[in-house]
Each structure stands twice: as C-alpha cells, then as structure tokens.
A and B are shown apart, each in its own frame.
Chain A
Amino acid sequence: MDFRFTEEEEAFRKEVRDFIQEVLQEVLPSDWQGVDPGPEEEAREEVYQLAVEIWRKLAAKGWIGLGWPKEYGGQEDLAKDWILKEELIYRGVPGMDMAVVQGDLILQFGTEEQKRRFIPPIAHGEVKYAIGMSEPNVGSELFALQLRAVEEADCFVLNGQKTWTTGFQHADWCVLYARTDPNAPKKSLGISVFLIDPKSPGITMRQITQMTGLAPFYEVFYDNVRVPKENLLGEKNGGRAIAMYAFGIERSYGLVVLHNARRYFEQLVQYCKETYTNGQPLAKDPVIRNRLAEMAIEIEVGRNLGDRLNWMTSQEILTVLPSCQIKVHGANVAQRVASLGMQILGPYGQLDEKSKWAKLGGRMKHTYLSSVALSMAGGTSEISRNIIAGRFGLGLPS
C-alpha cells in the first residue's frame, strides 16, 4: 500500500499552486477571501466575470478535462484532474466550472459527431452548461419527471417546466431530461436526454432568490421548444443509464464541498490564533481547542475517504458506495464548520459581509446559510443513505 502521490503528480500540484499564486496576484482583488464553486460564482456578476477570465487561462494551460481521452484534448489523467480541482476549490478561486463534468456524459454516451461538436468548446473554455433535471413535482424521484418531448419529423418538441436550474442565465447548453414515452412500462424507461440551447424560441425563465440572498437558480418554462434530432444524447428512451451515470458524478460533489469547507476551517483556525480575549488567544481556550480539533479530524477523515474514492475511480472500480459516503460526509462537514465558525465568532458571526465590524469578511455567515443546500443539491443525504444501504452498498433489502 502506498498513499503517496507520484512525483509527477506532486510536480503538477506545485504547478497548480504557482498558477493560483499568479491568479491571486494578477486577477483577483488583494483582499480575496475565496468564493464557493458553482452557485455563488453564477450569482455574483463581478465574480462571474473573474471566473470567465480564469477559466480562459485554465483552457490555455490545457487543464480543462484533464481526465478526458487525448483525442478530445485531455490527458487521460484523472489524478491530475482531481489535484487541479482540489487546489482551486480549496483556495476559493473562481473558474472551476462545475458543469465541465457534463462533458463526461457526452463522452460516455454521445455519438462521434456529438463528441467532436460539443467537447472542444468545453476544453477551450468557451461554453457553460446547465443541468435540467428537477421540476416542481420532481426532486429526488427524477424518473417521475413530466416535461414532455414529442418526436416530430425533424425534431423533438418540448413542453413543460424545470426548476432550480443553476446558472441557466449564463449557459450555452443545458443537459435536459425529458419524457419521451409516457406509456413505458416503468417510469424510468420513458426518458431521454437532450442538449438544448437556452436561447431557443419558446424558453422563458424566472430567477429565484436563495436564502443566502443570491439568485443563481431559475425556473425554466418550455413552450413548444424545438430541438433538432442530432441533439438527442444516447438512445431515445435511454435516459435512465445517463441519469444513473450523472448521479454518480454529482455525488463526488461531496468532495468538492469538503475541500471548500477546508478553506473556511483554516480561516477560522487563523482567527482563533489571532484573536485575544482576557489576554490570551482564543486558541488557548480548552473548549475551542477541543472543538477545532474535533472538526480537523472530521475533515481529515473525509479527505482520506476522498483519496480512496479517487483511487477507486482511477482503477475503474464501482464507486457508488464511496461517492455516496463522501456526499453525506462532505455536507455534514461543511455545515458543521459553518456552525462552529458562527459559534466562535459569537455575535459578530451574524453580521453582513459589508459591515465594518464583520470578521473573516462576513464569509462565515454566508457559508452558514449556503451550506444548508449542500445536503440537498446534487441528491439529498437521505437518498445517498438509501443508496448506501441498498443494492450497490450494504445490500439491505428494500
């Protein structure tokens, strides 16, 4: 057994860190406290603009889709792909486009023509993707979805509604899950997946504000939207397999969440070292030391789980179980870090980011609110636990 990264991987990590240093100095404001990947980036226009700039730099380095086959611009190196993500997310650097993983779906299920058409623009950092799964009556039970796609001579016609579509306003493409066969013997057997252009006629959207005050997600209405047949991904009525694959990708999201929480945690540790009460730093307070240590252990254990997940992925071992475990654990850690942070900051924790009295840039309040979503987004913790218990996990009877 060997937990070390290879020399080449370590060298790559250093290269990434140097890159981040450069970005911090040249692109990001000097008082940069970091942002959360995904929704926060999408919702704050000034951050989004920085993300686009950094995204282009990543593309110039050839670092988008590092795990992809060489013929589509990748390096077939999953370890590097993960190192890059981990470092960027941990440092709160925007531009780590979460939707790049939609490229994985296209590579896995797309036709040769689709791969050549859709993958290079992703690798060049030119396009953004959104995901259209959830509907007002469809959350955890994706296969109950109702948005209808009817096949006509030259296209499919879409009617229905999606909701919680994150980043739809910036998206060039949306991976949309629709019902093509309402009479299929099982709900899951009548679903197809489409690559749709959000600017198509018949699409309207309404912005939804989250409890953080940010508004990255949208209700999206499809009214006789025509999608060319060549934009069908995989087989007609074959959406189930794609959805299952996508769920797997989304659950490794738990690791993204964990590394993002590490940043908040380390800021908190720093705060405890620098903040004095009654003549001694908070870090000397036995209760605080105890809680910080407890948290550090939870994070470290999660990183170990994550290393195992990544290793298993690279070995093409089935990762349903570890990815669900890390999904649950990552959300727990993020919520606990936020809660501990709020507790330690005391009354200061509740202050708005703009307040002159705010500590740690008011970020702890942000993450205290935003982390609420982390046990739902990308599949809820309960569903993950069900899967852990089920056929691909503990094998308990249903």
Chain B
Amino acid sequence: MDLAFSEEQEMLWKSARDFLANKCPKTLVREMEEDEQGYSPELWKEMAELGWLGLPFPEKYEGGGFSFLDLIVLLEEMGRACLPGPFLSTVVLGGLPILEWGREEQKQYFLPKICKGEAILTLALTEPSARYDAASIRTSATPEGDDYLISGTKLFVPDAHIADWIICVTRTAETANPEEGITLFLVDAKSPGISTFVLRTIAGDKQCELTLEKVRVPRGNILGQLGQGWEMVKRIMEWAALAKSAEMVGGDQQVMEMTVNYAKERIQFDRPIGSFQIIQHYLADMSIDVDSARVSLYKAAWMLSEGLPCTNEISVIKGWISEAYRRVAAQAHQIHGAIGFTKDHDLELYFRRAKAGELFFGDADFHREVVAQQLGL
C-alpha cells in the first residue's frame, strides 16, 4: 500500500495552491457571487494555459492525459479557495461524458475547445421535482425529420447562463420503466427557444432555470445511444458527486485550519480559547471529520481511476462529507463567536458552500440509500 501523492500530484497541488492564493482572493470570490456571469474570463484563460481545463483528457485532444485522481487533487484546492466558475460543469459534467460516449468527430470537435478554454459546457439534468431519479425526467425530445424538438423546464442547472453547449437529458420514449427511453443531446446553447434565468442561491453559485421550447437539435447531436441515457446519467452523477466531494474536502480542511489558528490567537479569560478543554474537544472532533473524509475521497477516486467498481465508495464519501462539512463549518462558527457571523469574515463563504455542496448530486440521504442498496437491503 502507498497512500502518498505521486511527485506529479505533489507538484499539482502545490502549484494550484499558490496560483489560487494569488489569483483567487476572497475579494474575487465575493465579487463573483454578485456578478451576473459568476466567473472571471481572464482567470478561465489562465486556467486553460496551465492545462487545468484539459487535465483529464487524452493528449490527442490537446489534454494532459491525467487521471481522475489527479483531477481530484486539483478540485480539492479549488474548494479550498472557493474558486467560482464553470470548471466542474465544463470538465466533469460536459467533457468527461463526451470523452466516454462521444463519437470520434464529437470528441474532436468538443474536447480541444474545452482544453483551450474556448467552450463552456454543462449538464441539464434536474427538473422542478428537484430529484435525481429517472421518473423526474419530463423534458421531451420528439423526432421531426432529421431533427428532434426538445421542450421542457430544467432547474438547478449549473452555469447554463454562460454555457456554449448544454448536454440535455431528455425523454424520447414513454415506457413502463422510467429508466428506459432517456436520451442525451448536445444542445447549442444559442439555439432559438432556449432561455436561462439565474436563480439566487445560498452560495451565490450560478444555478439556472433553463426553459426549452421546441428547441431544434439535429439527430447527429445525440450523445451515446438513443434511449440508453439513464445508464450514462448514473455514471455522470457518480463523477459529479465525487468531484464535488473533492471541493468539499478542500473547503473542510481550510475551515479546520482557520479555526485552529483562531483558537490559538483569540484570548479570553487571559488564555487562548484553544486552551479550553471543550474547544480542544471540538477541534479534535473536527479533525476526525476532515481526515476521515479525505482518505475516503482518495480511495473512491483511486478506484475510479483504476477502473474498479466504486459506486459504493463514491456514495460513502458524498454521504459522509455532506454531513461532515456542514458539521465542521457550524462548529467553526461556534468557535469563532460573533466575528465569524459577519459578512466580512471568510468563514461564512464556507458555511454557505457546505450547504450547496451537500445539495449537489445527491445529499446524505440520497447516498445513504445507495449504500443501503449496495448492502443488499
């Protein structure tokens, strides 16, 4: 067994930490919460130049050829920095499905654009039921000549307002089994009939209401097989849950460190509050939450990178971090007292992101149910 980072991974996290400390200060994070677009195009370009946007894609598509585990190392740093923008949407929700199921010409068209920062992508999955199940997919795609017409409402679609392309999960057939008859389309976001509306959310991230009214999409834009989409969605959801877990672990770690430092500095009753046993116990519990989450994250990501079945491991980490990050952030607030309750303090950024992260691609209940199923219950 060897649980250490490879040399490349060491370099990746160090350079990512330096770069983000420089280029993604909390002033930018806050500005982007209020910003219409929610990301900095200059920063996006620099990330492309660093090779981040192409990290997991093969070199023949101008990517870096790194593994999912490597991607996780980067995402962790992004979570620590609260990096705003469509990285996860573009690379994980958009790029990876194209790499996995795209036809060669689709890969050649999309992947180099993603790597170079020339295309923002996302996935439109959830609908007003706000559930991650197949029966909730009501958005319809009906054939008309060589095209399909897509109509419906998607909700909580990340970054749809700035996306160039949207992978849209649609229903192409009504069958008794709701998991059949689902098809994924690559939809040009500028197509007539599409409108997006940015929802105002707890973390100030950009999730959208996406309305599609008879949006015309050529048959050739189907991703994967007609009617076989749900199996793909299940895989994408696993990747997304794992990627989000990495961001959450990074944020969790940062909250922990900030709080340890504060407990060492803040003096009450003539001593640092960190010298009170109760505060020490809180911090001890927090460190257990953080460290147990990180190793579980790496295990799941390693298994995925090795091509091993890891549905269970992914739900274990997402189920765990969803609770642990929330718990740690809340405890950090308690230890900070009133200063942490202010808008100007960094802590509140993490508290809000912990909640948003929990909701993204399945909360703890959702993943506990997966674990229960894996247990054969």
Binding site for B on A (CB under 8 A): 134, 137, 139-141, 144, 163-164, 208-211, 213, 277-278, 287, 335, 339, 342-343, 346-352, 354-355, 357, 365, 368-369, 372-373, 375-377, 380-382, 385-386
Tell me the smallest distance from the CB of B351 to a CB of chain A, in Å.
7
B275 at the interface (CB under 8 A from A): no
- Taken together as a complex, chains A and B put the C-alpha atoms of A144 and B268 apart, in Å, by 8
Partner of A368, one of B130, B156, B355: B355
Beta-carbon contact of B342 and A208 below 8 Å: yes
Known: A137-B267, A211-B341. 17 other contacts (CB 8 A): A139-B338, A140-B268, A140-B269, A208-B342, A209-B342, A210-B343, A347-B156, A349-B355, A351-B202, A355-B199, A372-B330, A372-B333, A372-B341, A376-B338, A380-B334, A382-B278, A385-B278
Beta-carbon contact of A375 and B355 below 8 Å: no
Chain B 132-169 residues near chain A, CB threshold 8 A = 135, 155-156
B349 to A, closest residue via Cβ: A211
Beta-carbon contact of A347 and B278 below 8 Å: no
Beta-carbon contact of B268 and A139 below 8 Å: yes
- Taken together as a complex, chains A and B put the C-alpha atoms of A346 and B136 apart, in Å, by 15
Beta-carbon contact of A355 and B268 below 8 Å: no
- Taken together as a complex, chains A and B put the C-alpha atoms of A139 and B200 apart, in Å, by 34
Partner of A382, one of B129, B203, B279, B330: B279
Q: Chain B 335-364 against A: per-residue CB contact (8 Å), 1 yes, 0 no? A: 001100111110010011001100100011
B276 at the interface (CB under 8 A from A): yes
B348 to A, closest residue via Cβ: A211
Beta-carbon contact of A350 and B359 below 8 Å: yes
Beta-carbon contact of A352 and B363 below 8 Å: no
Cβ contacts under 8 Å, A287 to chain B: 365
Partner of A335, one of B267, B330, B338: B330
Beta-carbon contact of A375 and B334 below 8 Å: yes
B131 at the interface (CB under 8 A from A): yes
- Taken together as a complex, chains A and B put the C-alpha atoms of A380 and B338 apart, in Å, by 10
Beta-carbon contact of B200 and A210 below 8 Å: no
- Taken together as a complex, chains A and B put the C-alpha atoms of A44 and B270 apart, in Å, by 38
Partner of B200, one of A164, A342, A348, A354: A354
B254 at the interface (CB under 8 A from A): no
Beta-carbon contact of B126 and A347 below 8 Å: yes
Cβ contacts under 8 Å, A347 to chain B: 126, 130, 155-156, 359
Cβ contacts under 8 Å, B276 to chain A: 382
Given A141-B268, A354-B200, verify A346-B363 contact (CB < 8 Å).
yes
Partner of A350, one of B201, B279, B338, B345: B201
B76 at the interface (CB under 8 A from A): no
B289 at the interface (CB under 8 A from A): no
Beta-carbon contact of A141 and B269 below 8 Å: yes
A139 to B, closest residue via Cβ: B337
Beta-carbon contact of A209 and B278 below 8 Å: no
- Complex A-B, nearest 9 residue pairs according to Cβ-Cβ distance, in ascending order: A352-B200, A211-B348, A209-B343, A350-B202, A141-B268, A347-B130, A350-B201, A347-B156, A141-B269
Given A350-B203, A365-B202, A372-B351, verify A213-B343 contact (CB < 8 Å).
yes
Cβ contacts under 8 Å, A375 to chain B: 334
Chain B 307-338 residues near chain A, CB threshold 8 A = 326, 330, 333-334, 337-338
Chain B 261-309 residues near chain A, CB threshold 8 A = 267-270, 276, 278-279
Show 18 A/B contacts (Cβ-Cβ < 8 Å), sorted by A: A141-B269, A144-B268, A164-B338, A208-B343, A210-B341, A211-B352, A339-B326, A343-B363, A343-B364, A346-B131, A347-B359, A350-B201, A352-B199, A368-B355, A369-B352, A372-B330, A376-B337, A382-B276
- Taken together as a complex, chains A and B put the C-alpha atoms of A273 and B184 apart, in Å, by 35
- Taken together as a complex, chains A and B put the C-alpha atoms of A212 and B132 apart, in Å, by 29
Cβ contacts under 8 Å, B364 to chain A: 343
Beta-carbon contact of B343 and A357 below 8 Å: no
Beta-carbon contact of B363 and A211 below 8 Å: no
B202 to A, closest residue via Cβ: A350
B156 to A, closest residue via Cβ: A347
B209 at the interface (CB under 8 A from A): yes
Given A352-B200, A357-B199, verify A373-B338 contact (CB < 8 Å).
yes
Beta-carbon contact of A351 and B130 below 8 Å: no
Tell me the smallest distance from the CB of B322 to a CB of chain A, in Å.
10
Tell me the smallest distance from the CB of B336 to a CB of chain A, in Å.
9
Beta-carbon contact of A376 and B334 below 8 Å: yes
Cβ contacts under 8 Å, B199 to chain A: 351-352, 355, 357
Cβ contacts under 8 Å, B129 to chain A: 277
- Taken together as a complex, chains A and B put the C-alpha atoms of A372 and B201 apart, in Å, by 18
Cβ contacts under 8 Å, B155 to chain A: 347, 357
Cβ contacts under 8 Å, A139 to chain B: 268, 337-338
Cβ contacts under 8 Å, A376 to chain B: 334, 337-338, 341
Q: Chain B 34-76 against A: per-residue CB contact (8 Å), 1 yes, 0 no? A: 0000000000000000000000000000000000000000000
Tell me the smallest distance from the CB of B325 to a CB of chain A, in Å.
13
- Taken together as a complex, chains A and B put the C-alpha atoms of A210 and B344 apart, in Å, by 8
A137 to B, closest residue via Cβ: B267
- Taken together as a complex, chains A and B put the C-alpha atoms of A140 and B270 apart, in Å, by 12
Tell me the smallest distance from the CB of A365 to a CB of chain B, in Å.
6
Beta-carbon contact of B342 and A211 below 8 Å: yes
Beta-carbon contact of A346 and B268 below 8 Å: no
Cβ contacts under 8 Å, B135 to chain A: 278
- Taken together as a complex, chains A and B put the C-alpha atoms of A373 and B365 apart, in Å, by 26
- Taken together as a complex, chains A and B put the C-alpha atoms of A136 and B309 apart, in Å, by 53
Cβ contacts under 8 Å, A348 to chain B: 130
Chain B 194-222 residues near chain A, CB threshold 8 A = 199-203, 209
- Taken together as a complex, chains A and B put the C-alpha atoms of A377 and B320 apart, in Å, by 30
A371 to B, closest residue via Cβ: B330
Beta-carbon contact of A346 and B269 below 8 Å: no
Cβ contacts under 8 Å, B203 to chain A: 350
Tell me the smallest distance from the CB of B272 to a CB of chain A, in Å.
12
B369 to A, closest residue via Cβ: A287
Tell me the smallest distance from the CB of B328 to a CB of chain A, in Å.
13
- Taken together as a complex, chains A and B put the C-alpha atoms of A294 and B218 apart, in Å, by 52
- Taken together as a complex, chains A and B put the C-alpha atoms of A354 and B201 apart, in Å, by 10
Cβ contacts under 8 Å, A373 to chain B: 338, 341
Among A140, A164, A350, A382, the most chain B Cβ lie within 10 Å of the Cβ of A350
- Taken together as a complex, chains A and B put the C-alpha atoms of A277 and B136 apart, in Å, by 10
Tell me the smallest distance from the CB of B353 to a CB of chain A, in Å.
11
- Taken together as a complex, chains A and B put the C-alpha atoms of A375 and B335 apart, in Å, by 10
Cβ contacts under 8 Å, B352 to chain A: 211, 369
- Taken together as a complex, chains A and B put the C-alpha atoms of A349 and B354 apart, in Å, by 13
Among A134, A287, A357, the most chain B Cβ lie within 10 Å of the Cβ of A357
